[in-house]
Amino acid sequence: MSFPLAELFFSEYNSDPSRNYLVSAPTGSGKTHIAKRVLAKSDGLSVYVSPLKALSREVYSSLRNRTRALLVDTDAYEDDLRRISSDVLLLTYEKFDSSIRHGYPWLEKVSRLVIDEVHNVETSRGLALENIVLWAKARHVPTISLSATLSNPDKYTSWLNAKMISHQKRTVPLHECVAYPYVLKCGDWEETFSPHKLTRPRFEVLVQVLEKITGKGKNALVFVKSRRSAESLALELRKRDFRAHHYHSGMPYDERTKVLDMLLQGDINVVVSTTALGQGVNLPVYAVLFYELKLPDVNEKGEFKGWKDVTVSEFRQMAGRAGRPKYDSEGMIIIVSNSERTARDLAQRYYHGAMTSQNAKPDLDTLSLAYISWNDGVEMDEFRSSLNSTFNFNGIEASKIEYSLSRLKEMKLVVLNRGISVTSLGHAVAVSYIDVKALSGFPLEDEKVDLVSAIVGSPAVAPSLRGCKDGVQLLSKWMGGESLEGVCDKLTTKDVNEVISNARWISFAMFRVLKALGDNRYLRALEIHENLKYGVPSEGIKLAKAGIPRDVTLDLVKSGITDLREMCIRIGLRELRDNLRRHGIQVEVLCREIYSNDTVAFDVRRALQELQDKEFSLGDVEKRFGRDVARELLRKKLIERKGEKYLVRKMKFY
């Protein structure tokens, strides 16, 4: 497919590839195509950052056979990118920002940076984007920024110091429509339907519009306000003989992937979704229908407060899922409402209304610390001018910057000597990827505070509990290897995983912070982190670290096996050996290093294997395997006396 946008962009880019570019064009006009071409042909190390792993995955899939590409999908706080050997790196904003804060050596090799969905600087993702752009400017790394929804294009070009490439005509045109009882209206064209049940006119109109769309062999994506709405509406549509399925962020990754695969393969033709599909991969969706134009509004603890309107920017991003290149030559956006008057008002707001800034500024203290963490020794004048060059703090008064710096000094996160530098505590906070304000929730002064309770109450964990009051019990049971049944029942499996993931992040941040302060509780914080990471009690950590699955580790711990050496000895017993192999565990591979460095362990395992179900004397053991093996069998109570002879002790394995 030919993309006029790409032709326009590359006519500029090829003549001056070293400058910055901002590409503003509707969804489906070829922005991702530009990113793929640039990444595939750039010299040095090219980096692609996006808000979603799904977006990075889509770009990666088209590059992996053309260049050495590395897709990174680990958590931002993890220190796992010290060494890479690739030509293209694809990761989220936060993961790249974290890499900058860690100061990895490979950053010196970055020759180009592609920023997808750059308008997210106006959202909660803004802090990462601000720090990334500050770094790129300081290191003179050319950037190509992409967006379909810019509230203020001039402000963006100034912030990015970029040349604007704008193309407002979509490759696949979209018809802007409204539907209300009992009319479908697209501009001057309209179609009327026969009234059905008068009790639920909006639902009946939705059904009639979907019948029209699916009757042409096309697919539809219906947006609703909540997970519950997605599930219930999809069920109702299935009762009306639509091949419909729900989609939302509470579903496990494999289930969400399955739904998209079903759509791609034609097994379903209607997806009912929350904003979870509001931006992301290219899908065969002919029409996007807005059945509800609300979003849940929650407080800082994740408790539901009410409903808020979808913004114009969010609407246009979601609407862009319709009529995608490769699948359709046109598409439809349809707002479904209860009345003609409401439809007219909504059309005016969302089709013709101006996009406004979402005004979700990042925390100035946290951005300041992030900037200083990689620009150690920065002079005060440069510090001020750099923060003044950001999108969210452009034009900020010098007094506010100085006050922010004084707060960081007061918290002992930075020091002023010859320039501004981070302290060991400041470095710990920066690389842990936590908000500076989160420190106030850390029990730095009161040693009596339970660390698990502090983790649950942190700003990163509390909202993910979605109002559940049993967060401490949830984490404690998970860490102890217990069932979570009956705890926070309203949370889906994915929600629980999110709580645990966020708790892992904060526990590791707590470990780093306490260690930087010389507080011995850092050992307890590390223990909690490992319990959370593996979901097993402390006695099972060594096994879990060796790669033994959680359920098997818990069974081994119940059987009295708490380390790899002990397991490698006891796999001489048939029952354990067979049990592990049934779980797909390659025992010989796991135990190879143990046996190489500890011949006694190997010989004890061999003795158990050969002597099981036989009677023998200690002399037989010493003669066949050596005195050390006989002693080890006795010391570990692996054998028991039967008259004048011995038998391998029968053991219970769970």
Residue 198: pLDDT band with limits 50, 70, 90 = low
What pLDDT is stored for residue 170 in this prediction?
77
Of 430, 422, 437, nearest in space to 513 by CA: 430
Q: Are strands 220-223 and 270-273 parallel, antiparallel or unpaired?
A: parallel
Q: Calculate mean pLDDT across residues 53-67.
A: 88
| pLDDT (average), residues 632-644 | 92
Express each pLDDT in 263-320 by its tens digit.
Answer: 999 999 999 999 988 876 788 999 999 999 998 887 766 667 788 899 888 898 899 8
Residue 242 pLDDT = 97
User: What would the pLDDT profile of 532-542 be if each residue is shown by its tens digit?
Assistant: 999 999 999 99
Instruction: State mean pLDDT over 404-414.
Output: 96
Q: Are strands 183-186 and 174-180 parallel, antiparallel or unpaired?
A: antiparallel
Please give the sequence-ordered ranges of beta strands (E in DSSP) within 324-406, or none if there are none: 331-336
- In this prediction, residue 612 carries a pLDDT of 94
d(CA 519, CA 533): 22
Residue 358 has pLDDT above 70, yes or no: no
Convert 139-172 to b/e letters by CB count within 10 Å (16 or more is b): eebbbbbbbbbbbeeeebbebbebeebebeebbb
Supply the Cα-derived Rg of the chain in whole angstroms: 30
Say which residue, 633 or 65, is predicted with more confidence: 633
Mean confidence (pLDDT) of the chain = 92
Give the predicted TM-score (pTM) of the model: 0.85
Q: Report the C-alpha gap between 270 and 220 in whole angstroms.
A: 5
- CA geometry: angle at 499 spanning 495 and 504, to 5°? 145
Query: Would you tell me how many other CB atoms lie within 10 Å of the CB of residue 316?
Result: 19
For residue 616, the 8-state DSSP code is B
pLDDT band of 622, cuts 50, 70, 90: very high
Residue-wise pLDDT for 96-142, tens only, equals 999 999 999 999 999 999 999 999 999 989 999 999 999 999 999 99
Non-local (6+) Cβ contacts of 307 within 8 A are 225, 294, 295, 296, 297
**Burial grade of 375 (CB within 10 A; 0-12, 13-18, 19 or more):** buried
Domains of the chain plus CATH, in order, are 4-166 (3.40.50.300), 174-352 (3.40.50.300), 364-534 (1.10.3380.30), 547-648 (no CATH)
Distance CA 397, CA 364 (A): 12
Q: At what angle do helices 493-516 and 471-479 cross, to 10 degrees?
A: 80
What's the pLDDT tens digit per position in 39-48?
998 889 999 9
pLDDT in tens, 138-188: 999 999 999 988 889 999 999 999 999 998 777 788 999 999 998 999 998
The secondary structure of residue 164, as a DSSP letter, is E
Strands (E), 39-96: 45-50, 69-71, 88-92
Residues 6+ apart with CB under 8 A from 16: none
Q: How far apart are the first and last CA of the chain?
A: 58
**What burial letters (b/e) apply to 182-204, b meaning 16+ CB within 10 Å?**
ebbbbeeeeeebeeeeeeebbbb
Other beta carbons within 10 Å of 431: 20
Distance, in Å, from the CA atom of 302 to the CA atom of 356, rounded to the nearest integer, reads 26
Residue 355 pLDDT > 90: no
> Over 60: is that where the pLDDT of 1 sits?
no
3-class secondary structure, 189:
strand
Greater confidence (455 vs 197) lies with: 455
pLDDT (mean) for 328-348: 93
Query: Could you tell me the pLDDT band of residue 2, with boundaries at 50, 70 and 90?
Result: low
* Gap between the Cα atoms of 143 and 157, Å rounded: 12
